[in-house]
Chain A
């Protein structure tokens, strides 16, 4: 996920092919080094959807179809200036 772009394909390949697996590992590391979080969406037999955060390539389930990278979460509260004087008065 990229601001202004949405979904971008980072890398594609088959983990069973050593050369492609190496490329996938490199791409995975590049994204994590850039400060992204990685998650694998999963589904169970009952149709329930879950997600699994992965911190290394080895943690990715072998049968996973995709890994989604997204920017790391950060506390998103606006500053006092953004909130304006009204809230400051309210807090007082």
Chain B
């Protein structure tokens, strides 16, 4: 009787010992499956926002000109000249920053998910903040916000196409309400430096091209 009891006890221990790893693996797999189903049901995808921003950058790049795209890529914001005063457009042709600033009465700085800031290019004086958003209220869950580059593109398109309408939709505040004026002044200095460097880069490239061109035109002749 004792031997039978011992044997059955040993048998039970052996069975548990053999089955335990398999049971553990099944438990882990079951938990993982449950989590996966939960994620699929909620629609959450951790890479979605990143992919959305990547697509948004490509779209923005395809809509802006080279200078504007490089400005946004290098500095993280866009400068748009104001057009409501009816003066000649300072964007035409390759001009120095001083020439453009002298011709434009005012300009805007566009940041992603921040107010549009109006300023005077001649003096750098800050004028107003225009708080504007592009919320999508049709979604029952998730973020209402556009990807950062889409937000910039929406502001750029709305300003370019119908500046008066966008400004009238926005809430106007004095500078400093949401955007730090010290940061804005730093950004304006960075923008001026960036424009000088870009202009000198273009100048050097044009000179190099001009010095190469006669050599190229002479080659076929010789």
Chain A residues engaging chain B, CB cutoff 8 angstroms: 1-7, 34-35, 37, 39, 41, 43, 46-53, 68, 70-78, 87
Choice from A46, A52, A68, A74 contacting B133 with Cβ under 8 Å: A74
**Interface check B95, CB cutoff 8 A:** no
Q: Does B20 contact A (CB under 8 A)?
A: no
Number of A-B contacts (CB under 8 A): 131
User: In the complex the two chains form, is A70's CB within 8 Å of B134's CB?
Assistant: yes
Is B65 a contact of A6 with CB atoms below 8 Å?
no
Candidates B48, B92, B161, B162; contact of A4 at CB < 8 Å: B48
A-side contacts of B115, CB under 8 Å: 76-77
Could you tell me the distance between the alpha carbons of A6 and B147 in the complex, rounded to whole angstroms?
A: 6
Contacts of B65 in A (CB 8 A): 43, 47-49
Asked if A5 contacts B52 (CB within 8 A), the reply is yes
Contact with A along B105-143 (1 / 0, CB 8 A): 000000000010000000000000001111110110011
How far is B166's CA from A27's CA once the two chains are assembled, in angstroms?
24
Name the B residues within 8 Å of A70 (CB-CB): 134, 146, 150, 153-154, 157
Instruction: Tell me if B169 is interfacial: C-beta within 8 Å of chain A.
Output: yes
